[in-house]
Structure 1
Amino acid sequence: MGGGKTAAPERRALPVEVRARGRRLEGYAATFGAEADIGGLFVETIAQGAFSGSLKRKADILALVDHDPGRVLARTRSGTLRLSEDSRGLQFDLDVPETSYGRDVLALAERGDVGGMSFSFTPIEEHRDGNRRELRSVELHEVSAVLSWPAYDGTTIQARSLIVPAPIRLYAERTLRILELSR
């Protein structure tokens, strides 16, 4: 970065997986080392620790639906969004609001229909080598549940539930017994 210009925030999106646990979504908004083809212009990876500066500054980071600031799912300032880094990537855990879009995202995540996770950032430090770009440090603005196609592979989103409703549990148990008897 340099030259006195403020760079426009960039966005990256990633695919997901789903499990159930109450009104929470959790998973990875970004994974380290995964390659993403950015519009045929370059191949991008994220270095481990790229988000640590944003997390240490305790900036107010939002969780949105499809990067839409009108559909806020959670935020770090209120404690409804929790972010951390591990050796795999940027983990998130959020409390889903009781709103129409919150219910929609939760229902789609439970069915496995959410396309992935995405994040919006401004690069602070990067390394370029030909058509390759490695993000080494970024200012994270938001993470988003993406309902269509993400850019990065390896992200996850899970709907978590500690309690399985009795009708679903009984149906699953009967289905397993039928499958066992049919072998």
Structure 2
Amino acid sequence: MNDRETRCYSGEVRAEQQGEQPAHIFGYGSVFNSRSEPLWGFREVIKPGAFDGVLGDDVRALFNHDPNFILGRSTSGTLSLSVDDKGLRYDITAPDTQTIRDLVLAPMQRGDITQSSFAFRVARDGERWYEDEEGIVIREINQFSRLFDVSPVTYPAYQEAESGVRSLKAWQEARESGALQKAINERMARERLLTLINA
């Protein structure tokens, strides 16, 4: 069972080089509170705080999620990760090789590569499903359990989506069987009881 997923964002990556200094690739692997494009029958929103438990992971920076083109690694100090109000930001000190200059840096500087992506695993109970007022199904991710890599990408990378689709189907089955409403009612009853006890 594959529970690794990838997501892509447009206009969130650039390369810079100043003088003889190593080239840097800056980007946002993810942005907060922004609905994704339609995925597999749902849209996704990543909430602030979702990355809090994974910033210390051994994360790689790859080109197109390809382990043959490693651009940096957090444990070696060539990849720096941080979170700000916008989302998950990365700073890669790019390898000084002809391959990376030709394949990654030159196309980025020309504006040919403008998208950024990240690979992740959602934590148990780290997501919430609901329908908005327009009937659009939303998957809200509140917590990741693993951050695998961040990547400048040529095309959006949605191919590894089994986990998200399985989770959507489980939510739909619970909603259709009435189990979802029952769970919501039980939770509300517990919350009311706790409020009364603590009053």
Q: Shorter-chain TM-score: which interval? A: 0.7 to 0.9
Question: What is the match of residue 154 of structure 1?
Answer: none
- Larger Rg computed on CA atoms: 2
Gap runs ≥5 in structure 1: 1-5, 152-183
Q: Please give the secondary structure, in 1, of the residue aligned with 2:50.
A: coil
Query: Is 1:127 equivalent to 2:106 in the alignment?
Result: no
Pick 1 or 2: higher relative contact order, CA cutoff 8 A, min separation 6: 1
Which range moved further: 7-16 or 84-93? Answer: 7-16
8 Å CA contact 2:29, 2:116 repeated in 1? yes
Q: 1:39 to 1:100 in 2, by over 3 A?
A: farther
1:70-81 → structure 2 map (5 Å cutoff): 70-81=68-79
Query: Is 1:46 equivalent to 2:46 in the alignment?
Result: yes
8 Å CA contact 1:115, 1:150 repeated in 2? no
Gap runs ≥5 in structure 2: 132-136, 159-199
Q: Give me the CA root mean square deviation.
A: 1.8
Q: Please give the secondary structure, in 1, of the residue aligned with 2:48.
A: coil
- What percent identity do the matched residue pairs reach? 35
8 Å CA contact 2:117, 2:156 repeated in 1? no
CA distance in 1, matches of 2:47, 2:28: 15
8 Å CA contact 2:15, 2:24 repeated in 1? no
Given candidates 135, 152, 163, the residue that maps to 1:145 is 152
Which range moved further: 94-103 or 83-92? Answer: 94-103
Question: What is the match of residue 96 of structure 2?
Answer: 98
CA distance in 2, matches of 1:110, 1:70: 22
Q: Please give the secondary structure, in 1, of the residue aligned with 2:108.
A: helix
Residue-by-residue CA offset, 1:33-53 (whole Å, 9 max, x unaligned): 111134342100100111110
State the shift of 1:19 in Å. Answer: 5.9
8 Å CA contact 2:28, 2:90 repeated in 1? yes
Q: Please give the secondary structure, in 2, of the residue aligned with 1:45.
A: strand
State the shift of 1:114 in Å. Answer: 0.5
More helix per residue: 2
State the shift of 1:12 in Å. Answer: 0.3
Instruction: Report the TM-score when normalising by structure 2.
Output: 0.67
Residues paired across the two proteins, number? 144
Query: Is 1:14 equivalent to 2:9 in the alignment?
Result: yes
More strand per residue: 1
Question: What is the match of residue 166 of structure 2?
Answer: none
8 Å CA contact 2:62, 2:151 repeated in 1? yes
Kindly report structure 1 stretches of 4+ aligned residues shifted beyond 3 Å.
none
Instruction: Report the TM-score when normalising by structure 1.
Output: 0.73
Question: What is the match of residue 109 of structure 1?
Answer: 108
Residue-by-residue CA offset, 1:95-146 (whole Å, 9 max, x unaligned): 0112344212111111111130000000010111131101111121110110
Residue-by-residue CA offset, 1:72-115 (whole Å, 9 max, x unaligned): 10000100000000111001001011234421211111111113
State the shift of 1:18 in Å. Answer: 3.5
